[in-house]
Amino acid sequence: MTFQIELNGVNKYYGAFHALKDINLAIEEGTFVALVGPSGCGKSTLLRSLAGLEKITAGEMKIAGQRMNDVPPRKRDVAMVFQSYALYPHMTVEENLTYSLRIRGVKKAEARKAAEEVATTTGLSHLMKRFPRELSGGQRQRVAMSRAIIRHPKAFLFDEPLSNLDAALRVHMRKEIRALHDRLHATSVYVTHDQIEAMTMADHVVVMRDGVIEQQGRPLDLYDRPANRFVAGFIGSPAMNFIPAVVGEGGADALLDFGRTRARLALAARLTPGLAVTVGIRPEHISIVAAGEGAFDIPVGIVESTGSATYVTSATQPELTVVETGRGAVKSGDVIGLSIDPKQLHVFDAETGERIGTERPPVTAASPPRLHLAEGAR
Amino acid sequence: MKRFLSSVTDGSGFDIGLVLLPLAFLFVMSGLPLVYNVVMSFQEVDMFSLGSFARPFVGLKNYIDLFSQPETRPILLNTAIFVSASIAGQFLIGFGLALFFWVNFPGASWLRGLFLVSWVMPGLVVGAIWNWILSGDFGVLNFLLRETGAISGNIFWRSDPNYSLWAVIIANIWLGTSFNMILLSVGLSGIPKDLYEAAELDGANAFQRFWTITLPMMRSTIGAIIALGLIFTLQQFDLFAAITSGGPNNTSNVTQYWAWDLSFRQYDFAKGATISVIMIVFVMFASVVYVRSTRHEVRG
């Protein structure tokens, strides 16, 4: 099995700054991969290295089985969609689309035909004679994508392409990009800082921090079994609750420390008694019951309602957030009981932040996975 | 009256006042002399009528006289050569330097700043120094050319009719290159870097990127520089005064020097004004190009 994109022990230094640390990644053809992480985590550097715009310091980088370390960008046959779109301002939409073809010496009529074909699929046909400055943000975005599509490259690279659009358009373009990917069966690498984009669009999510791949795998695997506290906190919205705790004497439960409030919570698996841990609970995995009827009681601090969901934040330290669908009857100052399924708990080592328990994440950065398209994508 | 005062203190009256002041200045200091000059070119002017405005109009006589003079054509040709060669030299060397410093090697901006030295030097001083460099018997330029084997005998740059105009052109190129370089550097740094990255990924090599991205993106800057260059070279006077004085036998004479020579040395003010009017036409043309290029800023 050859991979479309393969990174082995890739390192990148900017002077003394270690931007990418031992990156291993293998991407099968046709996979949509999202690189996600906070700003400065190295995701853009990794993408630019794939494009050839940055030179990697050590390691090996292959595209379609070919070693790419010293190949200049123009010979890598990858297309990139920039955050700023980077449309050529002095060219019309049509000239923007056909630029790469004209550079390659494709005949004018042929290039024009190709541009028209792409423009029909992306809905740009009526804008071909316009200049980029005469287009809206969404239209520019489409031109940038069409410019990539027209080349039939070995891989598409997206560098936060939606971050300049407003929220509604972003949700729309998210679906469009994914649909486009499914139609073209192209290999795509998509950089974003928005975990929702990563979760909804990608077949394979790579979570990065400080130049290191923290975890990679299928989106729901990352959600269900985060490898460490960072990934657990990064994936999912609203963010997971983290409560410091100590494993009880029998090893079957944990004592949660909410400052003045203490709570005892059953664990799904036995752990070493007395071990200091961090317990993670997703807000959507807690349900509110009457005081005294749940696993433990807690005073209510703030109640926010969006209409479809209610966010209840406890008056404890640390805070605990609960999401309830619909409109709850809970008011600030109430004492409520919380019911939690022990199977939905995540336990992390208090010191290292690594996940504890039998449920190991199925994929780690050390062993590149074989990836498969999500069902129904083909 | 009150309304007028209030419009001055906090309304459009203040804005109009701000505009009127420089307009009045421009009209008095530039507009009137310009019109006076044009009027003079249609009049008979001599030492005795210099003091009065009411001088006999002679129609196009000054123009006809001017073009019937044998030196007029060579001088106009000299001007054309001087302007185009100077602009071409300044622009090409300036662009080359701007591209060179754009690479941003260590010390690039420091070195670029050093180039501005030529810009702060008075033209007469530059002319004096170039006099030494171009000197026939012991000039540095001849020395270099001789040592490299480019020439066998000395070239008398300033007194040889074949070279006199080029002596001034060389000095003028040196004088104007840094101005071109700075403006072109500004233009270059205004091109977003991601355009080059996009073009690179689209398969363009360095040469193609220059032709398809750099040059078209620089169109307005280049237009402005050529227009300004035309104006600056048409007003270059000091170098002629310092290096050749238009000689020998008018072989390095150009319109702007000739106009001065006619008006203030031969006291033929009408002819001097006539030449100036011809130059005004060219400068107007350059100004239109300049205004148009700076108005059409390209950026999506």
3-state class (DSSP) for residue B167: helix
Q: In angstroms, rounded to a whole number, what is the distance separating the alpha carbons of residues A370 and B13? A: 75
Token readout for A334 is 């109430």
Q: In angstroms, rounded to a whole number, what is the distance separating the alpha carbons of residues A160 and A36? A: 10
What pLDDT, on a 0 to 100 scale, did the predictor assign at position B75? 93
At A24, the pLDDT band (50, 70, 90 cuts) reads very high
Q: What are phi and psi of A318, to 5 degrees?
A: -70, 160
Chain B residues whose CB is inside 8 A of the A52 CB are 200-201
Contact A33, A190 (CB under 8 A): yes
Chain B residues whose CB is inside 8 A of the A74 CB are 200-205
Q: Which of residues 85-104 of B touch A (CB under 8 A)?
A: none
3-state class (DSSP) for residue A247: strand
CB-CB under 8 Å, A73 with B298: no
Residues in Cβ contact with A5 at an 8 Å cutoff, skipping those fewer than 6 apart: A25, A26, A27, A50, A62, A63, A155, A187, A189
Return the closest-CA partner of residue A286 out of A313, A254, A262, A308: A313
**Angle subtended at Cα B106 by Cα B100 and Cα B109, rounded to the nearest 5 degrees:** 60
Q: Closest residue of A to B201, CA-based?
A: A74
**Closest by Cβ to A74, choosing from B203, B212, B219:** B203
Q: In angstroms, rounded to a whole number, what is the distance separating the alpha carbons of residues A242 and A355? A: 13
CA distance to partner chain A, nearest, from residue B157 (Å): 45
Chain A residues whose CB is inside 8 A of the B297 CB are none
CB-CB under 8 Å, A103 with B212: yes
Token readout for B187 is 């233009």
Is the minimum CB–CB distance between B2 and chain A shorter than 8 Å?
A: no
What is the average per-residue pLDDT within A228-244? 92
Is the minimum CB–CB distance between B206 and chain A shorter than 8 Å?
A: no
Q: What share of chain B is helix, strand, coil (3-state, %, to 5)?
A: 70, 0, 30
Q: What is the pLDDT along chain B (300 residues), one digit of tens a residue?
A: 777 777 777 777 888 888 999 999 999 999 999 999 999 999 888 877 877 778 888 888 889 988 999 989 999 999 999 999 999 999 999 999 999 988 878 888 888 888 888 878 888 899 999 999 998 888 899 999 988 988 888 888 888 889 999 999 999 999 999 999 999 998 999 999 999 999 999 999 999 999 999 999 998 889 889 988 998 999 899 999 999 888 788 889 999 999 999 988 988 888 999 999 999 998 888 888 888 877 765 443
Contact A343, A267 (CB under 8 A): no
Tell me, letter by letter, the H, E, C secondary structure of A279-347: EEECHHHEEEECCCCCCEEEEEEEEEECCCEEEEEECCCCCCEEEEECCCCCCCCCEEEEEECHHHCEE
Q: In angstroms, rounded to a whole number, what is the distance separating the alpha carbons of residues B196 and B210? A: 9
Measured between its terminal Cα atoms, the distance across chain B in Å is 48
Q: Closest residue of A to B217, CA-based?
A: A90
The mean pLDDT of chain A is: 88
Asked if residue A277 has pLDDT above 60, the reply is yes
At A366, the pLDDT band (50, 70, 90 cuts) reads very low
Token readout for B51 is 């003091």
CA distance to partner chain B, nearest, from residue A80 (Å): 7
Q: In angstroms, rounded to a whole number, what is the distance separating the alpha carbons of residues A36 and A193? A: 5
CB-CB under 8 Å, B201 with A78: yes
What pLDDT, on a 0 to 100 scale, did the predictor assign at position B103? 84
Is the minimum CB–CB distance between B149 and chain A shorter than 8 Å?
A: no
Is the minimum CB–CB distance between A189 and chain B shorter than 8 Å?
A: no
Best B195, B196, B197, B201 member to test A by mutation, with max A CBs in 10 Å, is: B201
What contacts 24+ positions apart, CB below 8 Å, involve A143-146? Answer: A143/A85, A143/A87, A143/A93, A143/A96, A143/A97, A144/A81, A144/A82, A144/A85, A144/A86, A144/A87, A145/A81, A145/A177, A145/A180, A146/A97, A146/A115, A146/A118, A146/A119, A146/A122
What pLDDT, on a 0 to 100 scale, did the predictor assign at position A112? 93
**Closest by Cβ to B299, choosing from A89, A140, A151:** A89
Largest CA distance in chain A: 79
Residues in Cβ contact with A336 at an 8 Å cutoff, skipping those fewer than 6 apart: A288, A289, A290, A291, A294, A297, A298, A300, A312, A330
Per-residue model confidence as pLDDT tens digits over A253-262: 899 988 888 8
Token readout for B201 is 């990924």
Is the minimum CB–CB distance between A105 and chain B shorter than 8 Å?
A: no
What pLDDT, on a 0 to 100 scale, did the predictor assign at position A189? 94
Q: Closest residue of A to B218, CA-based?
A: A90
Token readout for B108 is 């690039």
DSSP string, B48-99: TTTT-S---B-TTHHHHHHHHSTTHHHHHHHHHHHHHHHHHHHHHHHHHHHH
CATH superfamily of A5-232: P-loop containing nucleotide triphosphate hydrolases (3.40.50.300)
**Closest by Cβ to B208, choosing from A84, A90, A103:** A103
Q: Closest residue of B to A75, CA-based?
A: B203
Chain B residues whose CB is inside 8 A of the A88 CB are 195, 198-199, 212-213, 300
Domain boundaries, chain B: 60-295
Per-residue model confidence as pLDDT tens digits over A161-218: 998 888 888 998 899 899 889 888 889 999 999 999 999 999 999 999 999 999 999 9
Per-residue model confidence as pLDDT tens digits over A117-126: 999 988 899 9
CB-CB under 8 Å, B200 with A88: no
Q: Closest residue of A to B219, CA-based?
A: A90
Q: Closest residue of A to B300, CA-based?
A: A133
Asked if residue A155 has pLDDT above 80, the reply is yes
Contact A330, A189 (CB under 8 A): no
Q: In angstroms, rounded to a whole number, what is the distance separating the alpha carbons of residues A360 and A210? A: 23
Domain boundaries, chain A: 5-232, 238-354
Chain B residues whose CB is inside 8 A of the A53 CB are 197, 200-201
ipTM over 0.85? The verdict is no
Best B202, B218, B296 member to test A by mutation, with max A CBs in 10 Å, is: B202
CB-CB under 8 Å, A104 with B203: yes
Return the closest-CA partner of residue A374 out of A146, A219, A196, A160: A219
Considering the domain B60-295 in this protein, what is its CATH number? Answer: 1.10.3720.10
Asked if residue A127 has pLDDT above 50, the reply is yes
Q: Which of residues 264-293 of A touch B (CB under 8 A)?
A: none
CB-CB under 8 Å, B204 with A86: no
3-state class (DSSP) for residue B18: helix
Residues in Cβ contact with B138 at an 8 Å cutoff, skipping those fewer than 6 apart: none
Q: In angstroms, rounded to a whole number, what is the distance separating the alpha carbons of residues B204 and A72? A: 11
Percent of residues, chain A, with pLDDT higher than 70: 94
Residues in Cβ contact with A280 at an 8 Å cutoff, skipping those fewer than 6 apart: A226, A229, A232, A233, A240, A241, A242, A243, A345, A346, A347, A348
Chain B residues whose CB is inside 8 A of the A104 CB are 203
At A266, the pLDDT band (50, 70, 90 cuts) reads confident
**Between A and B, how many CB-CB pairs are < 8 A?**
72
Residues listed for chain B: 300
Q: In angstroms, rounded to a whole number, what is the distance separating the alpha carbons of residues A211 and A216? A: 14
Chain A residues whose CB is inside 8 A of the B203 CB are 74-75, 100, 103-104
Which residues, listed in sequence order, are joined to residue A10 by a DSSP beta bridge? A23
Is the minimum CB–CB distance between B300 and chain A shorter than 8 Å?
A: yes
Is the minimum CB–CB distance between B173 and chain A shorter than 8 Å?
A: no
CB-CB under 8 Å, B203 with A100: yes
CA distance to partner chain A, nearest, from residue B208 (Å): 8
